[in-house]
Chains A and B, each alone.
Chain A
Amino acid sequence: MLSIKNLHASVEDKAILKGINLDIKPGEVHAIMGPNGSGKSTLSQVLAGNEAFEVTSGEVTLNGENLLDLAIEERAREGVFLAFQYPVEIPGVSNLQFLRTAVNAMRKHRGEEEMNAAEFMKQAKEVSKQVDLDPSFLKRGVNEDFSGGEKKRNEIMQALLLQPKLAILDETDSGLDIDALQVVSNGVNALRAEDRAILMVTHYQRLLNHIVPDYVHVLAGGRIVKSGGRELALELEERGYGWLGINDEDTSN
């Protein structure tokens, strides 16, 4: 489904990704771990099309189609979804209006009829329950004054509404209390499907107790330095990153 070959990316002429190779098949869940500053969010943002990052070489395809050629919104319409590590607050745009505009943009792209406000309200309420967000959050500005955990749940709610082919979750578990972690994990597990790939960035193996990944990768210094099964996460939890030969230089910038 997703194929990343020798991907290099930089920001303000500073190389961040230095040759990423990764293949994800439909139905699979991949976890990416790695020290702070190693490039995990950069990889996520590059896949979503953030123009702040420049792809200097490499190739990314989604179901055979060149992803890097597509505009941000086209990638989303082709099924790429990024749950942001730091979701943006947009006061003045209601969450409901935002979500309906997004859902209708997708529907239009698929040649389906747009949903009217009442129909959409019904669906949005159901999904908000699924992530344990009170429907009153739909009326508030997008992420406006949401707590950290509420923002993360709002991201998962969007994924559930938009039903992407590839869901990239950037530290969706960070800053969640135990109950919220359960709620978010249930949401992610609900996303798991035969025809959907999930790429999760996390620092914590505890998430992987709830969402069991098929593969775990370690990203350090802009490269994937180790890949393995679920047990790799346990090993990292126990031993840290040092044994992989990741030095300070890799982790400090």
Chain B
Amino acid sequence: MKQAPMLSSAFLHPAGQTLPEPLLALRKQRASLLVDMPLPTRKTENWKYSSKYLKLTDEMAISLPAEGKAGNSLAVSGYKVVFRNGILIPEASDYPDMDGITIQSFSDLSNEEADVLALQLGSTLDHDQAQFARLNGARFDDGLLVRLDADAVLDQPLFIIHETAADTSGSAFPRIFVEAGANSRITLVEEYTSSGDAPAFVNTVTEFTLADGANVTSIRLNMEGESVQHIGATGVVQNHSSRFESHCVGFGGPLRRHDLQVRLVGEEAETKLNGVVVTQGKQHYDNHTSIDHVAANCNSEETYRNIAADQSHAIFNGRIHIHQDAQKSFADMNNKNLLLNNGAEIDTKPELEIYADDVKCAHGATIGQLDEESIFYLLSRGIGRRDANVLLTMAFINELVSQIPLEVVRDTAQIRLNEFFEQTFQEI
């Protein structure tokens, strides 16, 4: 029998030593768990469509240096934190200075603070499903800690810009931990960009814990370049009456994977997950989401849209698990997919596990093409074929794009979408 390929040991040696002692120890301990970590193959259920896109070489194992030129990113005024190759750059960042809100790089934590954080890191994630979160745990060189005390409200969104400068081959392992205290409120934007064209690997983990009544809006824009493979995981734990809202907008690449796991552990928690994925050329994108209704009376609403052009490949896997005690759960999952070319591939799979009897759970998945009748209607009004295609493709995701609560993010996404249309629909 052929041995399953293992993660090369080259990936097990972290470079940066600037972290406080408790985090260095944590990293070391996590690394020891990684020895003999099998790489996913076609036979790995949660990677079966994507394993063929994963191409990690030993050259990519080393951490990219923190210097390097900046990519183009959201032009923001207001609060921002810039990571370059997984290292937080204080000079480029602009933190809020508000009572009740702590925003700090992992490297700046005292040993006492780091002790507390070490117990929390990884606690929101099921690592058997998001295997690569383990690798991040063994390799993160830096990270961002955001703590909101009870009732703290961040008055403006916090932009976290992750730039990967892929001038040489290497990896980046940024990590974010957000603890939202009772009734606190924050909007946080993660933007992933890159420059350079050396093969690079970005492996992220972002975690949110929401105390009772906390309200978190998370926006994630994935716009890295064609040489960057990206595997990210987001873990969310929600307590009583908390509200989490996520907007993920992703553009394809050689490998794109995002695992989003939400656990509703307190009653009356609400979660809303929106996602838009656009792929073209030979690009790939794989979204795996998972919502655990652990407590009763919670509400989850999930809407994902994939658009695949050319020979690209998009994957959506949506798992909803309603635990035995989660009576009166309401869960609605909807995934629609648009194939723009016959050569494109979309795989969608809902996974429902329901162990409570008094629940409302709806799910739907469709795969379709642009509607011929609608195209004819638009053309019959003098609209050109290209514009008709663009209007109808935008129509497919408009509802989700317009729900993104920040104009600057909508605009940034729209610019990328326009480039996509430019390349996908030639004037006929």
Chain A residues within CB distance 8 Å of chain B: 48-52, 71-73, 75-77, 81-82, 84, 87-88, 90-93, 97-98, 101-102, 105-106, 109, 141-142, 158, 162
Contacts and interface: CB of A to CB of B under 8 A. Distances in A.
A84 B379 CA distance: 13
Contacts of B378: 90, 98, 101-102
B164 to A, nearest CB: 33
Given A88-B373, A88-B374, A92-B398, A72 B379 contact: yes
Interface centre among A48, A81, A101, A142 (most CB of B within 10 A): A101
A91 B383 contact: no
A90 B395 contact: yes
A158 B380 CA distance: 11
Interface stretch (B35-43, B71-79, B92-100, B385-393): B385-393
A126 to B, nearest CB: 19
B380 A82 contact: yes
A72 B398 contact: no
A98 B399 CA distance: 16
A182 to B, nearest CB: 26
Interface centre among A71, A73, A102 (most CB of B within 10 A): A73
Contact of A109 (B382, B385, B387, B398): B382
A43 B371 CA distance: 22
B355 interface: no
Given A92-B398, A92-B399, A106-B382, A72 B391 contact: no
B377 A92 contact: no
A81 B379 CA distance: 11
Contacts of B380: 48-49, 72-73, 75-76, 81-82
Nearest to A141: B395
Given A50-B376, A98-B391, A92 B381 contact: no
A237 to B, nearest CB: 31
Contact of B382 (A87, A88, A162): A162
B361 interface: no
A73 B399 contact: no
A41 to B, nearest CB: 13
5 contacts: A73-B384, A76-B380, A90-B378, A90-B395, A92-B396
Nearest to A80: B380
B383 A102 contact: yes
A76 B381 CA distance: 6
A105 B381 CA distance: 9
A105 B383 contact: yes
B397 to A, nearest CB: 8
B382 A102 contact: yes
Contacts of B385: 71, 73
Q: How large is the interface on B (under 10, 10 to 19, 20 to 34, 35 or more residues)?
A: 20 to 34
B377 A88 contact: yes
A98 B371 CA distance: 16
A73 B391 contact: no
B391 A101 contact: yes
A87 B380 CA distance: 12
Interface centre among B371, B374, B381, B383 (most CB of A within 10 A): B381
Interface centre among A52, A92, A142, A158 (most CB of B within 10 A): A92
B394 interface: yes
A73 B395 contact: no
A105 B387 contact: yes
B383 A92 contact: no
A162 B381 contact: yes
A91 B395 contact: yes
Contacts of B384: 73, 105
A146 to B, nearest CB: 13
Nearest to A109: B382
Nearest to B388: A73
Given A50-B376, A90-B374, A73 B382 contact: yes
Given A51-B376, A105-B382, A158-B381, 5 more contacts: A71-B385, A72-B376, A92-B394, A93-B394, A105-B383
B305 to A, nearest CB: 10
A145 to B, nearest CB: 14
Contact of A90 (B377, B379, B387, B399): B377
A158 B378 CA distance: 12
A87 B381 contact: no
Contacts of A141: 395
Contacts of B399: 92
Nearest to B396: A92
A97 B373 contact: no
Interface string B386-428: 0100011011111100000000000000000000000000000
A91 B371 CA distance: 12
Contacts of B374: 88, 90
Contacts of B372: 52
A162 B371 CA distance: 24
A98 to B, nearest CB: 7
Contacts of B376: 48, 50-51, 72, 88
Interface centre among A72, A88, A105 (most CB of B within 10 A): A72
Nearest to A142: B377
A97 B388 CA distance: 11
B421 to A, nearest CB: 14
B394 A101 contact: no
Contacts of A97: 391
Nearest to B377: A88
